Structure 1
Amino acid sequence: MNFARINGATIHYRHRPTAGRPTVVFANSLGTDMRIWNEVERRLADDCTFVAFDKRGHGLSELGGAPQTILTHAADLAGLLDHLGVKRAVICGLSIGGVIAQCLYKTRSDLIEGLILCDTAAKIGTAEMWNGRINAALSEGIASFADDVMQKWFTPDFHKNRGEELAGYKTMLTRQDPAGYAAACAAIRDADFTATTAAINVPTLCIVGDQDGSTPPELVGSLARSIPAARFEVIAGAGHIPCVEQPERLAGLIRGFLNDMRRERK
């Protein structure tokens, strides 16, 4: 395991260099840790250098001092890439990870070679929704709404046929630090990049599961339309976490995107 002190918090990360290959950085969704990318990484082992990390307050990363904003998370990611000596990377962000990626483009575009925005939006949810989630996490615990989250994360087919994995990912969610989870909810609540997506000027791929209950296809499609020349792909048979439910399809889209970027540079 690897840890680095970034902006006053210890951040847990994984770095798997592959000489001569582009760097892809995986940024997780709310309530998960970097293990959600394992199957995608395995399928792309010969294609990329990987960086994955637990955002602060999740997994094995410290929460640090409050308040936490999307700017805080973007600064953490920038600090981690600087720590690793990564000059340019494709940022693949899922849900809040995609919001962090949009913020990083606004604040440190020098680090970004391309964007893969999975199951995310320029603005996610309402203040009322996020305040309710924060209150529940801190007063009743994450387990009090975990079953509802699982319905949004995974398709009925996953619930029916992959029960052991479902139980594992529910455990991943409920074992997150409630304070860290609530802080991330507040960061999402207060983030809005609708006014800046039109300024994104790097190759961008927007991806969504066709049964995503958190950021539905129409919302992610709207994000794609707001970014000049962005591609939009829908993954069949996936909810909010396609890296778990359809890793082969997601890895194929990432590989194709990287290949297209390589051809365009020639």
Structure 2
Amino acid sequence: MQIARLKTVDLHWSEDGDPDGIAVVFANSLGTDLRLWDKVIPLLPQKGLRLIRFDKRGHGLSSCPAPPYTIDALTDDTEQLLDRLRVKTCIFVGLSIGGIIAQLLASRRPELVKGLVLSNTAAKLGTADMWQERIDRIRKDGIEAMADAILERWFGEEFRRSDEAMAWRNMLTRTPVEGYIGCSEAIAANDLTASTSKLKLPVLGIGGEHDLASPPDLVRATTDLIDGSRYVEIGNAGHLPCVEQPDIYAGHLVRFFKEDLNVGAI
């Protein structure tokens, strides 16, 4: 296990694949850690790609500074990590809040992000009132009180009946409450519509057919803000299609790398 001690946070990160390859950075969703990508990483070419993932602040094995958090601060964390890892250019794959971080990072550092995958995310995700209601409930009763409702937004009915779903429920409920609330507050205050619409780079949007957290039409609308982008939708999947349909998810990534970004030797 590896920890990057940064200015304002300590981030847990891991690396697979080719240390000399093109960096592909994965940023995960609210209430999950870097294990979100466990099924996808082995399905990607291990030669030619440097596969980096990390736990954002308040999640997984990273430190949990006291809230409030902002998307600016979460993006600062990500920038510092990539600078520490000497990443000069990368393909960034962000899911949910990870996709919000991805959008802001691409706006700030266009020389750093050469391609963007916006998975199950949006320029603006939900309403301030919706997020405040969730925050208040979790402050009062803990994440456990919301767990079943959140899993309904994450996964389709069939997956929720599987034994594996319990592991994801445990990951969610073991997320530090302050980390979950901090990131929820950051999402609630965020609207990147103006800056995302100015992005000029290859973008792949990925939606899940049964996603109740970031419905497919919302993901498509954000993807369409960016000229030259394209959108794909994964059937029989909810908010975390990389978990429910990893083969299809990985296939879309590889196609994007090869056809849209002209990544060779993978």
Shift of 1:32: 0.3
Match of 2:113 in 1: 112
Partner-residue secondary structure (3-state), 1:199: coil
Deviations 1:10-59 (A, max 9, x none): 11000225155321101000000000101100111425211100000000
Pair 1:167 & 2:169 matched: no
CA distance in 2 between partners of 1:54 and 1:102 (Å): 18
Write out aligned runs for 1:141-180 (5 A). 141-160=142-161, 163-180=162-179
Structure 1 residues 35 and 81, CA gap change in structure 2 (3 angstroms): same
CA distance in 1 between partners of 2:260 and 2:231 (Å): 15
Shift of 1:237: 0.9
How many residues are matched?
Answer: 263
**Structure 2 unaligned regions, length at least 5:** none
Contact 2:11/2:62, CA 8 A, preserved across alignment: yes
CA distance in 2 between partners of 1:149 and 1:65 (Å): 23
Deviations 1:191-212 (A, max 9, x none): 1011122211111000011110
Shift of 1:156: 1.2
Q: Comparing both structures, which one devotes a greater share of its residues to helix?
A: 1
Match of 1:38 in 2: 38
Match of 1:24 in 2: 24
Match of 1:188 in 2: 187
Pair 1:225 & 2:214 matched: no
AA in 2 matched with 1:23: A
Match of 2:85 in 1: 84
Q: TM-score, normalised by structure 2?
A: 0.95
Match of 1:236 in 2: 235
CA distance in 1 between partners of 2:26 and 2:35 (Å): 10
Shift of 1:263: 3.0
Match of 1:69 in 2: 70
Match of 2:60 in 1: 59
Structure 1 residues 180 and 237, CA gap change in structure 2 (3 angstroms): same
CA distance in 2 between partners of 1:124 and 1:137 (Å): 19
Structure 1 residues 36 and 259, CA gap change in structure 2 (3 angstroms): same
**Structure 1 unaligned regions, length at least 5:** none
Structure 1 residues 220 and 262, CA gap change in structure 2 (3 angstroms): closer
Superposition RMSD in Å: 1.4
The percentage of counterpart residues that share the same residue type is 41
Partner-residue secondary structure (3-state), 1:227: coil
Deviations 1:42-88 (A, max 9, x none): 11142521110000000011122432100111111110000000101
AA in 2 matched with 1:9: V
AA in 1 matched with 2:74: H
AA in 1 matched with 2:238: G
Pair 1:200 & 2:199 matched: yes
Match of 1:135 in 2: 136
Partner-residue secondary structure (3-state), 2:213: coil
AA in 1 matched with 2:192: F
CA distance in 1 between partners of 2:20 and 2:173 (Å): 39
Partner-residue secondary structure (3-state), 2:14: strand
Shift of 1:159: 2.0
